[in-house]
């Protein structure tokens, strides 16, 4: 919803018009303006029209009423120069006509009060240029004023600074828990900024309204758009609405309870009038049933029996009947709970209808399938990397003669390999004549008895061909002889 100050025919005399993307550079779109639906209606007596207009300052964060003593008629969105403190100020017309009288009555302001300030004129180009210069100083003054407050150890928090259009007055908005003595602070501000200083204390909710932001509902804060009066909010409103007392979820950006807790409170109170009072317990033959919660939308009351974790939903009429029987001294045999059908079961019971598959596949489903596939591939690669060396090591440890080596005592001169099963592949080529490199690692546990045994004696010297499982080995100790014939040794 756009504001009335963004029409293309009125951008000539303003500090800025609407941008191409629909946003308002003047900042008047930050607050929801009142639509003057009586603007084009004729009146029988033009002299009886309201002579008071509503003017907004600081992008709608502050609105005041001014009397129009001139003969000029102002439209919504026009910039006017009004009376200020020892000078003038520039604001934007936010409301005119008969609706101003309704706002005056709502806020308790007298229309004919002599203390009401007046509108001087429509803002000229010079007034607007002075207004721009004064507003450009606000950020620097705010940063400098916060630094001065920290140096003087003043226990307050400055939230906003508003400089008058002519630059003669500065209003400092702050929040504080206790009373603050800022007499020395005002002297420093006046000497450094060359303005007349006004310190105005605001509440924490007003501070959040000035800062602005997005609420948990996804929309702009109510206090930053249309909410002007702040009512007290307590946890009783949350209890009536069956909300969990969670400080994190119930608190707004101001750190207080959300104002929206009061919006539907009257509706909940009207709905709760149908529920019976003093129905926290019900006397039954199985024991005393205790009330645990109320479902206001479904008009159900949930009870639980002793020594049982099952919850029993009862209708309001059933609870009233049980309470009437209890007053008569009778106990019911059963509670007769209502059968609750979940939405999933309801969909299964409903007959299948035509469904347009366009748009039924969500991106979350595709991302979930891709994530599952990546996890499976990662696990498969890890298993292959972990099992591959072990399998190769086991294959390389097999004897070349086709038979298994018998178990027997080793000679004391034999050395064990420190690398274990990690030496699956052996270097190819001629074997060295001596040394302890490449000796067979010691195998733990009993060895299986095979049909063939390794012959005893020195191995033939010379290049070994072909096998990736060949090992370099020096002189080996004698081994037990098997049934096979010993081949002649080469010297």
CATH code for the domain in which residue 188 is found: 3.30.300.20
**Boundary (domain end) residue, out of 124, 148, 176:** 124
In terms of residue numbers, what domain contains 178? 137-209
Residues 279 and 257 placed together within one structural domain of the fold? no
Residues 107 and 147 placed together within one structural domain of the fold? no
Residues 25 and 58 placed together within one structural domain of the fold? yes
Residue 412 lies in a domain: no
Residues 112 and 73 placed together within one structural domain of the fold? yes
Residue 49 lies in a domain: yes
Residues 101 and 198 placed together within one structural domain of the fold? no
Residue 220 DSSP one-character state: B
Residue 131 lies in a domain: no
- φ, ψ of residue 179 in degrees (nearest 5): -70, 140
Compute CA distances 318 → 140, 305, 324, 333, 480, whole Å. 68, 16, 10, 13, 94
- According to the model, what pLDDT value does residue 405 have? 47
Between residues 112 and 398, the one the model is more confident about: 112
What are the DSSP E strand ranges found in 131-286?
Answer: 157-163, 169-175, 196-201, 281-284
User: Residue 14 above 50 pLDDT?
Assistant: no
Structural domain total, the chain: 4
Chain-wide mean pLDDT for the chain? 75
Q: Kindly report, residue by residue over 382-426, the tens digit of the pLDDT.
A: 888 876 544 444 444 444 444 444 444 454 444 444 444 444 445
**Boundary (domain end) residue, out of 159, 174, 209:** 209
- According to the model, what pLDDT value does residue 70 have? 85
Residues 265 and 278 placed together within one structural domain of the fold? no
Residues 97 and 33 placed together within one structural domain of the fold? yes
- According to the model, what pLDDT value does residue 75 have? 86
Between residues 432 and 314, the one the model is more confident about: 314
Confidence of residue 356 (pLDDT cuts 50, 70, 90): low
Q: Tell me the C-alpha distance between 89 and 83, whole Å.
A: 6
Q: Kindly report, residue by residue over 75-100, the tens digit of the pLDDT.
A: 888 999 999 888 899 999 988 888 88
Residues 88 and 23 placed together within one structural domain of the fold? yes
Residue 80 lies in a domain: yes
Residue 141 lies in a domain: yes
- According to the model, what pLDDT value does residue 452 have? 47
Residues 278 and 266 placed together within one structural domain of the fold? no
Residue 178 lies in a domain: yes
What are the tokens at 256? 């207080």
- According to the model, what pLDDT value does residue 366 have? 66
How many CB atoms sit inside 10 A of residue 358's CB? 6
Confidence of residue 307 (pLDDT cuts 50, 70, 90): confident
User: Residue 442 above 60 pLDDT?
Assistant: no
Residues 19 and 83 placed together within one structural domain of the fold? yes
- According to the model, what pLDDT value does residue 34 have? 64
Residues 42 and 69 placed together within one structural domain of the fold? yes
Residue 204 lies in a domain: yes
Average pLDDT over residues 261-273: 91
Confidence of residue 128 (pLDDT cuts 50, 70, 90): very high
Residues 150 and 101 placed together within one structural domain of the fold? no
- According to the model, what pLDDT value does residue 46 have? 62
CA-wise closest residue to 33 among 78, 95, 79, 90: 95
Greatest Cα pair distance in the chain: 138
Residue 483 lies in a domain: no
**Boundary (domain end) residue, out of 283, 312, 341:** 341
């Amino acid at each position: 919803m756009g504001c009335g100050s963004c029409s293309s025919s009125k951008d000539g005399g303003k500090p800025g018009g609407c941008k191409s993307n629909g946003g308002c550079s003047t900042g008047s779109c930050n607050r929801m303006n009142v639509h003057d639906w009586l603007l084009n209606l004729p009146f029988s007596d033009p002299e009886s029209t309201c002579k008071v207009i509503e003017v907004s300052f600081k992008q709608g964060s502050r609105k005041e009423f001014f009397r129009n003593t001139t003969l000029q008629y102002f439209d919504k969105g026009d910039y006017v120069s009004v009376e200020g403190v020892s000078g003038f100020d520039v604001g934007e017309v936010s409301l005119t006509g008969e609706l101003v009288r309704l706002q005056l009555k709502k806020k308790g302001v007298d229309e004919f009060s002599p203390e009401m300030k007046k509108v001087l004129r429509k803002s000229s180009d010079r007034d607007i240029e002075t207004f721009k210069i004064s507003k450009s100083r606000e950020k620097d003054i705010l940063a400098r004023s916060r630094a001065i407050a920290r140096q003087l150890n003043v226990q307050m928090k400055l939230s906003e600074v508003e400089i008058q259009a002519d630059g003669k007055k500065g209003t400092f908005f702050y929040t504080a828990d206790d009373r603050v003595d800022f007499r020395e602070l005002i002297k420093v501000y006046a000497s450094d900024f060359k303005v007349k200083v006004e310190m105005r204390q605001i509440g924490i909710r007003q501070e959040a309204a000035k800062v602005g932001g997005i609420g948990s509902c996804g929309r702009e804060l109510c206090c930053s758009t249309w909410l002007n009066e702040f009512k007290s909010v307590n946890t009783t409103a949350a209890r009536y609405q069956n909300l969990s007392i969670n400080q994190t979820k119930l608190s707004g950006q101001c750190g207080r309870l959300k104002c929206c807790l009061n919006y539907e409170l009257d509706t909940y109170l009207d709905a709760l009038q149908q529920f019976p009072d003093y129905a926290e317990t019900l006397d039954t033959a199985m024991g005393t049933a205790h009330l645990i919660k109320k479902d206001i939308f479904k008009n159900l009351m949930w009870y639980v029996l002793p020594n049982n974790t099952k919850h029993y939903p009862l209708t309001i009429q059933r609870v009233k009947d049980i309470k009437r029987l209890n007053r008569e001294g009778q106990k019911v045999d059963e509670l007769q709970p209502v059968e609750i059908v979940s939405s999933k079961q309801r969909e299964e019971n409903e007959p299948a209808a035509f469904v347009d598959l366009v748009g039924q596949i969500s991106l979350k489903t595709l991302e979930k399938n891709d994530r599952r596939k990546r996890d499976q591939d990662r696990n498969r690669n890890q298993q292959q990397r972990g099992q591959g060396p072990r399998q190769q090591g086991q294959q390389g440890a097999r004897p070349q003669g086709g038979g298994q080596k018998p178990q027997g005592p080793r000679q004391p001169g034999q050395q064990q390999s420190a690398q274990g099963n990690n030496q699956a592949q052996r270097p190819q080529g001629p074997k060295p004549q001596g040394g302890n490199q490449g000796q067979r690692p010691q195998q733990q546990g009993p060895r299986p008895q095979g049909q063939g045994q390794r012959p005893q004696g020195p191995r033939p010297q010379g290049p070994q061909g072909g096998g990736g499982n060949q090992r370099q080995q020096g002189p080996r100790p004698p081994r037990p002889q098997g049934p096979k014939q010993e081949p002649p040794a080469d010297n």
